[in-house]
Structures are given as structure tokens and as C-alpha cells.
């Protein structure tokens, strides 16, 4: 074959091969398009077949049941032919939610945001309550009050009638030994009518101690039956002196640091075999500096007629006479309220407005100590016996207690 014819044939073949490849590519693309179309049509047909005969549910307020033939959407209930919410629910955007939940931000009082869960998110100084926001210190439900408390509409906890709010709980201050007469007042005995009745015996002295007050040493407690018929119980505490230098004290280190202005009542019942009575003695701090200031004493026989061999009650603060004096310390040093120039209780408080029971109970000396409440027999008398049935004391903020001395 001559060269010119060979070149022409080669050129024709080069044009034919690319054209066939292109035709094959077009054929493949067309097939792919047809397949995708048929797949889409098949899917649509399946969806129509699946949804054929399905009824749409009715929303809140729409007809349901009966001729309507529709069921209610979600958690709504068909009531009287209409979809509605149950008694513990409310409607919210065509659905029912708990009546205490929020539906929109408006339910949060404009101070919080309503979340999808139906709870309000509140500012840092607020907390969520019934779909709104309240102060952190306020209660939302009775559960917030605890101890039998009731949450009032103003967000404050209160107690049922007859009970008092004490330490986050409701207490009956007439009978509660932890809140006897007032919140926080502990009773070591029986609380009745807001008064703590404590029985003191040799086996359980409840802080009371017998002392030889002349030498500051404890002595054996003496409790006896009678004499006669005591006002409370069947017995009493017995204090005895033989020589003029004797002196017996029955005292308790209690009410330390309490101002005397808080004292409301002091009474005791005694039985004496003579005209000599017990004296009330208080270990004091006269100006509030904590230093030893001696004792403030009240002697009933100077302001009362004493009846021997029978029970007699002395109500110290009902006795308006001058029966108070300082046995030692600054009052005596300053010449105030002496045995020969007695004072009334009001005089004592006016002269020493900061006077209190000494904050120090027992000290290194022993005996009754510095701060105490006690009853003393002697000294300066001989062969005397006095019995004490009970000691009663009422102090603001510290309750009303009766110590009944029994064998």
C-alpha cells in the first residue's frame, strides 16, 4: 500500500474509536437516570400505600370520637366529644402539661424562661415554684416547710394552730422537752403546760450539789420523806447546822452569764423548825466584766412572817420589801445594799444595770464556785434544820423550771 492511502486509513480509524466510547458513556448515563426515576416512583408508591386509610388525630378543643371518628393527639382525653386535658393538667399549645408546669415564658412571671420540660429557669436570687419564680427564702409547698409546717400564700411557713415554729419544725411548746415553754429551751424532766418539772434525787442530782459552804467542800446529799405533807411529791432536801460556824449550801452552777434583769420568778417551799429560813444566794458579776463580784443574797425572814413546823412558800419577786444585800465584793465595798441597809430587787437592778450570774461556774477554790444559784442555811446559828420541797425559777429565754427534791 502506498504511503498516502495508509495515512488516510489511519486518520479514519482515529475518528471512529472516540465516537464509540462517547456513545457508550451516553448510554450508561441514560440508564442511571431511568433507574433513579423508577426508584423514586416506587418509594412514593410505598408511602402512599402505607398511609392509606390512616386518620389524623384531633388536637385540644377539636371534635373526637363518635361521628368525628378521630382520636385525641398525645396525652389529651376525649371528654364530651372534644379533646381536653385532665383535672391535673392544663392546655399548652394544643397539648396537655402538668398544671404546675410552665407553658411559655409569661408563666414564669416575666423573671425567668420556660424550658421544654415545663420548668422555669429563674434568676440567681429566685427559685422555680408552680411555673413561676419566687424568693429563695420563700416556700413553694408544704414540703419546703418540713416538720408539719404549712406553706402560706405569701411564701412563708407557718404552723397549725397550737404549734410554734422552732428551728425549722413545728413544736408544741406545752409538752415538747426540746422546746419547753419556748423554742430551744431543753427540759431534763417532764414538760407540761410549758413548765419543766425535774425530779432531783441522790441518784440523779441534775447539777445540784450539797456543800459545806464554810470550807468549800461537797458533802453527802440529804433527801428525806416529809416532813408532814410537802406541796410536791412526798419528800424534800434537808440542810442542817450544828455549830455557829457551820453553813450548808444546796446549789447549781447554772444560768451563767444570764443578766438578772431576765429573771421573772424565783420561789421555793421550805419547812423550818425555828424562825430561821434558807437564804437565796446568787453568784454574780456586777458589771459584766467577768470578775468575781461576790454574792447577792435574799433572806426571806427579814420581809416575811415565818411559821415554824409547817410548809411555807416564799415568792421572792412578789416580796417588794427590802430583803437584798451583798455578802461580799464590790457592792459591799461601795456601801450599797448592806445587811443594815437592805435593797429591793428594783434597787439592785438600778444600781447595777449590767449585773448577771457570773460566767464562771466552778473555779479552783471549789465549793459552789463563782456563778451559781443556791439556797443556804447558816452561819451564825446553832442546831437548826430546814427542809426544801422544791425550787422554782423562770428566766426569759431560759424557760420555767421546777426542781422537786425527793428521797
Residue 133 and residue 145 in one domain: no
Residue 154 and residue 300 in one domain: no
Residue 382 and residue 266 in one domain: yes
Considering the chain, what percentage of its residues have pLDDT values greater than 70? 83
Residue 226 lies in a domain: yes
Look up the CATH number of the domain holding residue 342: 2.60.120
Residue 115 and residue 153 in one domain: no
* Tens digit of each residue's pLDDT (9 = 90 or more) over 219-252: 999 999 999 999 999 999 999 999 988 999 999 9
**pLDDT band of 101, cuts 50, 70, 90:** confident
Number of domains in the chain: 4
The answer to whether residues 167 and 178 touch, using CB atoms and an 8 Å cutoff, is no
Residue 53 lies in a domain: no
Long-range pairs, 181-189, Cβ under 8 A, ≥24: 181/399, 181/400, 182/397, 182/399, 185/397, 185/398, 185/399, 187/399, 187/401
Residue 213 lies in a domain: yes
Residue 320 and residue 278 in one domain: yes
Model confidence at 5: pLDDT above 60 = no
* Tens digit of each residue's pLDDT (9 = 90 or more) over 65-99: 776 667 887 777 888 888 888 888 888 877 788 88
Residue 148 and residue 77 in one domain: no
Model confidence at 27: pLDDT above 50 = no
Residue 195 and residue 109 in one domain: no
Residue 153 and residue 247 in one domain: no
Which of the listed residues 76, 99, 122 is the one where a domain comes to its end? 99
Whether cis (ω within 30° of 0) applies to the bond prior to 379 is yes
Residue 176 lies in a domain: no
Residue 297 lies in a domain: yes
Q: Determine phi and psi for 58, rounding to 5 degrees.
A: -95, 140
* Tens digit of each residue's pLDDT (9 = 90 or more) over 121-164: 888 888 888 767 888 889 999 888 888 889 998 999 999 999 99
Residue 312 lies in a domain: yes
Residue 322 and residue 196 in one domain: yes
Residue 395 lies in a domain: yes
Residue 306 lies in a domain: yes
CA–CA separation, 373 vs 296, rounded Å?
10
Residue 144 and residue 111 in one domain: no
**CA angle, 331 then 336 then 337, to 5°:** 100
As given in the structure block, the three cell numbers for residue 274 are 425555828
Residue 277 and residue 356 in one domain: yes
Residue 332 and residue 401 in one domain: yes
Beta strands in 136-278 (DSSP E): 150-151, 157-158, 164-166, 169-171, 190-192, 195-200, 208-212, 217-218, 223-225, 235-241, 247-252, 263-272
**pLDDT band of 20, cuts 50, 70, 90:** very low
Q: Which domain holds residue 153?
A: 140-170
Quote the pLDDT of residue 365: 67
Higher pLDDT residue, 148 or 7? Answer: 148
* Tens digit of each residue's pLDDT (9 = 90 or more) over 32-55: 544 555 455 455 555 555 545 455
Amino acid at each position: 500500500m502506498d504511503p498516502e492511502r495508509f495515512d488516510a486509513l489511519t486518520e479514519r480509524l482515529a475518528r471512529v474509536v472516540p465516537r464509540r466510547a462517547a456513545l457508550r458513556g451516553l448510554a450508561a448515563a441514560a440508564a442511571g437516570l431511568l433507574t433513579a426515576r423508577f426508584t423514586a416512583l416506587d418509594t412514593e408508591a410505598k408511602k402512599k400505600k402505607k398511609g392509606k386509610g390512616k386518620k389524623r388525630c384531633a388536637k385540644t378543643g377539636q371534635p373526637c370520637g363518635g361521628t368525628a371518628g378521630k382520636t385525641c393527639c398525645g396525652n389529651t382525653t376525649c371528654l364530651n366529644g372534644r379533646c381536653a386535658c385532665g383535672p391535673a393538667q392544663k392546655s399548652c399549645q394544643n397539648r396537655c402539661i402538668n398544671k404546675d408546669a410552665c407553658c411559655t415564658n409569661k408563666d414564669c412571671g416575666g423573671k425567668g424562661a420556660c424550658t421544654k420540660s415545663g420548668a422555669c429557669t429563674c434568676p440567681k436570687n429566685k427559685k422555680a415554684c408552680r411555673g413561676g419564680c419566687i424568693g429563695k427564702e420563700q416556700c413553694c409547698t408544704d414540703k419546703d416547710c418540713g416538720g408539719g409546717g404549712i406553706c402560706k400564700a405569701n411564701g412563708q411557713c407557718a404552723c397549725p394552730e397550737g404549734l410554734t415554729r422552732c428551728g425549722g419544725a413545728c413544736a408544741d411548746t406545752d409538752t415538747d422537752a426540746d422546746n419547753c415553754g419556748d423554742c430551744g429551751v431543753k427540759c431534763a424532766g417532764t414538760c407540761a403546760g410549758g413548765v419543766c418539772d425535774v425530779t432531783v434525787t441522790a441518784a440523779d442530782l441534775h447539777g445540784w450539789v450539797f456543800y459545806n459552804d464554810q470550807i468549800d467542800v461537797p458533802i453527802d446529799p440529804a433527801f428525806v420523806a416529809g416532813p408532814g405533807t410537802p406541796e410536791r411529791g412526798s419528800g424534800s432536801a434537808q440542810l442542817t447546822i450544828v455549830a455557829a460556824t457551820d453553813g450548808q449550801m444546796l446549789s447549781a452552777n447554772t444560768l451563767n452569764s444570764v443578766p438578772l434583769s431576765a429573771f421573772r420568778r424565783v420561789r421555793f417551799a421550805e419547812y423550818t423548825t425555828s424562825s430561821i429560813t434558807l437564804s437565796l444566794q446568787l453568784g454574780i458579776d456586777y458589771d459584766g466584766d467577768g470578775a468575781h463580784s461576790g454574792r447577792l443574797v435574799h433572806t426571806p425572814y427579814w420581809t416575811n412572817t415565818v411559821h415554824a413546823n409547817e410548809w411555807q412558800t416564799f415568792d421572792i419577786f412578789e416580796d417588794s420589801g427590802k430583803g437584798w444585800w451583798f455578802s461580799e465584793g464590790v457592792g459591799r465595798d461601795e456601801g450599797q445594799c448592806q445587811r443594815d441597809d437592805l435593797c429591793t430587787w428594783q434597787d439592785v437592778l438600778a444600781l447595777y444595770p449590767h449585773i448577771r450570774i457570773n460566767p464562771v461556774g466552778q473555779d479552783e477554790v471549789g465549793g459552789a464556785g463563782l456563778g451559781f444559784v443556791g439556797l443556804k442555811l447558816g452561819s451564825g446559828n446553832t442546831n437548826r434544820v430546814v427542809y426544801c420541797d422544791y425550787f422554782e425559777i423562770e428566766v426569759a429565754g431560759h424557760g420555767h423550771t421546777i426542781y422537786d427534791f425527793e428521797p
